[in-house]
Amino acid sequence: MNTPDQWRRWLGRFTREPKDRLAHAFEAVDAFEALSAGPDEQMLQTLVKAASSPHKLVFETGCHLLFRLAATQENCQQAIDRMASSRDATARFHAIAYLNATLPEPLRFSVIDRALSDRSSRVRAKAVEKVEAFGLRQFLARLEAMIGSESRREVLRSLALHVPLLREGFLLEPAPDRSGFNLTVRGPNSIKSEFIPLQRFSKSDVTRAVERLKKGERLVD
């Protein structure tokens, strides 16, 4: 969806959504349309409020539109930076969860830096994921230190996956039945896992498999 009218038509399908939530989502679209024409602090606050909502339809609309504007508008970048320091854990989570490569690296760095120390384990876990997704190896030593200090299972799971992907470029784990290995790599659009049976397992096999998965190719057609 590229235009406000496309968003409005999409929102119009949610006829069973509570009227107040749907109204807030439509208000976010109106704010996006106004901000596309130029800075407007009141409209920006409306969009940030939607992006910070706990309700899925509202925050998906608000976050997608706010972060889209933030690719080029400094006032929206500043709003995301403020969300990352909000007292509201939902707002802080959305600030890190919707972070993307269209945003300036200093903003991404700033949001991730705070999120890694956030009091919410959900925010910390997502921050670990974003460090790896953006390939920010300058955070690697900090993530490795977190492995020894972190107590929450959700964050430890995120570290167990994303630290090897950042450090080595892949994660290799024995299959539960010991019949081979599960290889996990970040591809062009997402993280992919493939099974390598024991009879095809060697260092050169792993190297070739990693390169294929990074390109988005499957190991077995």
Annotated domain spans of the chain: 4-166, 171-214
Angstrom distance (rounded) from CA 213 to CA 11 = 36
Tokens of 13: 């399908």
If DSSP codes are grouped into helix, strand and coil, which group holds residue 193? strand
**Per mean pLDDT, which range of 13-27, 81-95, 116-130, 185-199 is the poorest?**
185-199
Q: How buried is 94 (Cβ within 10 angstroms: 0-12 exposed, 13-18 middle, 19+ buried)?
A: buried
Averaged pLDDT for residues 197-219: 80
pLDDT interval class at 221 (50, 70, 90): low
Q: How many residues does the chain have?
A: 221
Residue with tokens 């799971």: 157
Who contacts 130 (Cβ-Cβ below 8 Å, separation ≥6)? 96, 99, 108, 112, 115
The answer to whether the pTM exceeds 0.75 is yes
pLDDT recorded at residue 13:
95
Rounded to 10 degrees, what is the CA torsion of 143, 71, 67, 126? -10
According to DSSP, the residues that pair with 174 across neighbouring strands are 181
Share of the chain above pLDDT 70, in %: 99
Who contacts 19 (Cβ-Cβ below 8 Å, separation ≥6)? none
pLDDT tens-digit map of 134-187: 999 999 999 999 999 999 999 999 999 999 999 999 999 988 888 888 899 998
Q: Which CATH number does 4-166 carry?
A: 1.25.10.10
